[in-house]
Structure 1
Amino acid sequence: MKNKVFAALAAMALATPALGDGFYTVDVDAEFEDVVFNVEMAITNQGLVIDDISYVGQMLERTKEDVGGGKDLFTDARIFSFCSASLSREVMEAKLRNIQFCPYNVYVYQSAEDGAPVVVGYREFNEPTMRSINYLLQQIVAEAAGN
């Protein structure tokens, strides 16, 4: 098991950009619903169950006038929440306070601007004990983006 985790961490170190602004995103030249389907498949292909889908784009559109919003933000935007029992146990055994990061999220959005790409991504965890989760999320995003 440790060799498997070490190999995954080594691969992540080579494949993941340095933690910068805290977000890992990929622009995808595809239809929004196709990317959503790919995210769902990428999560379930990891043996994970989607706990919740937040329809953020629809909520912001529905409440725009109520809160004095002046412009459309997204054509659509969703957040997929899920957890991994094995990786969550690993990271919480390392630090109990890592509970604050669970469930994990992958988001998909398309800006309301004409010609905007679909964006798929996740928030990177700057906590060293969360590297295995960053790696998992990166794999999901890469598969969803067709990489």
Structure 2
Amino acid sequence: MKQFVFAAILGVCAQTSTAQDMVTYTTDQDFDDVAFGIESAITDAGLVVDHVSHVGAMLERTRADVGSDMVLFEKADVYSFCSATISRQVMEADPMNIVFCPYDIFLAQQPGSDQVVVGYRQFPEGAMQTVQKLLDDIVQEAIGE
């Protein structure tokens, strides 16, 4: 029964996330410089990048296979990572905060744009604001804000 409730909670959370549920910053910096800044800021915080999803490359590689002619991104990546200390803190406050782990920061550049958008999802009030502050600090460090 617990697994069913947990799966239902995960499904609701995944379905309710929308574009307005994110924090974004826009910069004129080169995409690769911003990517290096994100990775550096994560490691400077004593954290390890668990995975980099090359979303833009995947979408471009599969574009024709799914019958689309729309190029969505020049480049787009998502950096996934976690913090044992902060994750323990927020999950001790509420074990169901597991739904937010790992933490993700995305960066994307649309075709023909010299702007790079960097961002992350907003988190609920309470304990998860510690994670939101961490992500905001990382993004701001990466783009020099």
Shift of 1:105: 0.4
Q: Which runs of 5+ in 1 are unaligned?
A: 1-19
Paired with 2:141 and 2:105, the residues of 1 have a C-alpha distance of 12
String of CA shifts for 1:61-115, please: whole Å, max 9, x gaps: 0000111122100000000000000000000000000011100000111011x23
Paired with 1:63 and 1:71, the residues of 2 have a C-alpha distance of 11
Structure 1 runs, 4 residues or longer, greater than 3 Å off:
none
- Asked if 1:60 is matched to 2:83, the reply is no
- Asked if 1:136 is matched to 2:134, the reply is yes
Q: 1:119 is matched with which residue?
A: 117
Q: Is the 8 A contact 1:55 1:77 kept in 2?
A: yes
Question: How does the TM-score come out when normalised to structure 2?
Answer: 0.84
Please tell me the residue identity of whatever aligns with 1:121.
Answer: G
Q: Is the 8 A contact 1:22 1:126 kept in 2?
A: no
Please tell me the residue identity of whatever aligns with 1:53.
Answer: V
Q: Is the 8 A contact 2:107 2:118 kept in 1?
A: yes
Paired with 2:114 and 2:126, the residues of 1 have a C-alpha distance of 34
**Identity score, percent:** 49
- Asked if 1:109 is matched to 2:143, the reply is no
Q: Is the 8 A contact 2:28 2:114 kept in 1?
A: no
Please tell me the residue identity of whatever aligns with 2:81.
Answer: F
Q: Count residues with an aligned counterpart.
A: 127
Q: Cα RMSD between the aligned structures? A: 1.2
Q: Is the 8 A contact 1:87 1:133 kept in 2?
A: yes
Q: Is the 8 A contact 2:106 2:120 kept in 1?
A: yes
Q: Which runs of 5+ in 2 are unaligned?
A: 1-18
For 2:98, what is the secondary structure of its paired residue?
A: helix
Question: How does the TM-score come out when normalised to structure 1?
Answer: 0.83
Q: 2:74 is matched with which residue?
A: 75
Q: Is the 8 A contact 1:109 1:120 kept in 2?
A: yes
